[in-house]
Amino acid sequence: MTQTKQPTNYGALSTLVTVFFFWGFIAAGNSVFIPFCKHYFNLDQFQSQLIDFAFYTAYYVGALLLFIFGTIGGKDLVGKWGYKKSIVYGLLFSALGAGAMILAVNGNSFPGMLVGLFIVALGFSLQQTAAQPFSIALGDPSTGAARVTLGGAVNSFGTSIGPLVVALALFGTTAAITDEQIASLSLSKVIVLYIGVGALFIGAAALFNFSKKVPSGIIEEKTESGNKALIVLIIMTVLLGVMFVPVFSTYKNLDPNISEANQHALEIYRLKWLLGALAVVVVGLLVANLSARKKPEGWGAMRYPQLVLGMLGIFTYVGVEVAVGSNLGELLKQKEFGALSASEATPYIMMYWGSLMIGRWTGAISAFNFSKSTKKFLQLIVPLKAFGILILVIYLSNYDVSALFYYGLCVLVLIAAFFLSKERPVQTLLIFSVLGVIAMVIGLLTTGTVAIYAFLSAGLFCSIMWPCIFSLSVAGLGKYQSQGSAFLIMMILGGGIIPPIQGKIADLIGIHQSYIIAAVCFAYLVLFAVLVKGILRKQGIDYDAEVSGGGH
């Protein structure tokens, strides 16, 4: 007997995805902010990386604080406030961060800017903790991944056009911005930028708060406090701090004339501590789940193996997505990859991040109630159109796009993968993860254009992983769903651990060979896809069967 599917609340969903667009658009300001800080404050490369570190750490800290307050108060805060109010509160908190940024810029304080950015990201943490499960709750759970993908698609569009709009606002042009232009950027224009950002935060909060289409999303059920999970997370946080201190402290007063042998020893020293941080996360979560399975009381959402494995999945996915993109510029400087300058490498980096948009636009088709024939047609046309738009955006930015035309062949592989996945979350994650492994292996074994395209295609295969991992991880959690969502948001921390690990390995064995880290990350996601299907089946959940059997 075919079960009736829960209809999608498209009115609420349309309002929600505007917030996803907003995240992407606002984040584009960092593409100017980071190089501006590096020039204006005369920062070295490590110090400039503190901006990303502050951002990713805020997600972890924000989600952890939500869990701590919920545990102490005996009520999940996001569930108590409701998804709607939680997003509004998060937007207003980010507006406070924009205000702090304005004060810091006006006071010429780089630490103050880091604090402001940290506050903005804390607000994002609350917004995302509510928005991800809210997207799933606005329709049938089996199609929840498609709705999260739709949000991601709109987010990617905001990220793609954001740099052009910000460049136009600050420099009066959409052409490539030079180091000299960034260095000469006046503080008054940066202040105006963040005044606009703050106003947009407040405007988005008002839009969401007064929209009658958006339900409150309040969860009435009481959740278990999760004291044991809280203890584990606090211990993990302390240990992570212990691991990071030696990495950061070794950059202080570093002798520029250090010998090659001592430099090599220092890089190994830093790598050991970074690997220690990775071990803290992996071992800590696995031990927690093993303990929770023996005696589930006090563990809250961590009693569910799909959530714990999914936390590692989000950690790995965010890590590989950031690591591949962050290291592309250095890779393309190598002789065997064209010895490209920073300006010459920019179109490839834009294509990598744009590949996420291509995949997400395609995956978002499943969120709509189209006929099967229409969906197949759109799955063929949309990625090609998105690829064409991306080429146009890069061209309008005054870059040479001729070397990217044949990347369309990788887009055809993406299309084939979508047809094979048949809108099934587990099958989709498995296919795309396997393709990620294959792409990284091809990139490692080759050089030149073939290797470059292989590494760029990681963006295509990463594009739909977040919604798949997220929806499968919170499946069956019931009253623990928002708590589980907070745990998953914490794992964005992977973007602050895995890329530095790849960077240190690159210092030791070379940037090309360092992409073995990306291959290992994709391999874990293959394992997660295999394991989670069996775990959910034991709990009476089979999203793949529901999606394939129900139709639209």
pLDDT at 237 over 50: yes
- Is the sign of the CA dihedral 294, 295, 299, 305 positive or negative? positive
Higher pLDDT, 198 or 182: 198
Q: What tokens were used for 317?
A: 């996915």
pLDDT at site 72: 77
- With beta carbons less than 8 A apart as the criterion, state whether 511 and 92 touch: no
Burial code (b: 16+ CB inside 10 Å, e: under 16) for 29-38 equals bbebbbbbbb
Q: What tokens were used for 494?
A: 């992977």
CA–CA gap between residue 433 and residue 521 (Å, rounded)? 9
Global confidence as pTM: 0.82
Residues, the chain: 552
Q: How confident is the model at residue 477 (pLDDT cuts 50, 70, 90)?
A: confident
Higher pLDDT, 281 or 254: 281
pLDDT at site 407: 96
Higher pLDDT, 552 or 509: 509
What does the mean pLDDT of the chain come to?
83
The model's pLDDT over 246-267, given as tens digits with 9 standing for 90+, comes to 876 655 545 556 666 776 777 7
**What value does the mean pLDDT take over residues 379-393?**
92
pLDDT at site 550: 35
Q: Which amino acid is at 99?
A: G
CA–CA gap between residue 50 and residue 111 (Å, rounded)? 10
pLDDT at 64 over 70: yes
pLDDT at site 44: 54
- Tell me how far apart the terminal alpha carbons of the chain are, to the nearest angstrom: 16
pLDDT at site 45: 46
Give the alpha-carbon dihedral of 64, 66, 68, 72, to 10 degrees: -170
CA–CA gap between residue 528 and residue 426 (Å, rounded)? 9
- With beta carbons less than 8 A apart as the criterion, state whether 3 and 132 touch: no
pLDDT at site 447: 93
pLDDT at 271 over 70: yes
Burial code (b: 16+ CB inside 10 Å, e: under 16) for 292-331 equals beeeeebbbbbbbbbbbbbbbbbbbbbbbbbbbbbbbbeb
The lowest-confidence range among 40-49, 153-162, 237-246, 390-399 is 40-49
**What value does the mean pLDDT take over residues 329-346?**
85
What DSSP line would sit under 99-152, residue for residue?
HHHHHHHHTT-HHHHHHHHHHHHHHHHHHHHHHHHHHHHTS-GGGHHHHHHHHH
pLDDT at site 49: 56
Higher pLDDT, 262 or 124: 124
CA 201 to chain CA centroid, Å, is 20
Q: How confident is the model at residue 552 (pLDDT cuts 50, 70, 90)?
A: very low
Q: How confident is the model at residue 443 (pLDDT cuts 50, 70, 90)?
A: very high
Could you tell me what percent of the chain has a pLDDT over 70?
85
pLDDT at site 172: 67
The highest-confidence range among 147-161, 259-273, 502-516, 536-550, by mean pLDDT, is: 502-516
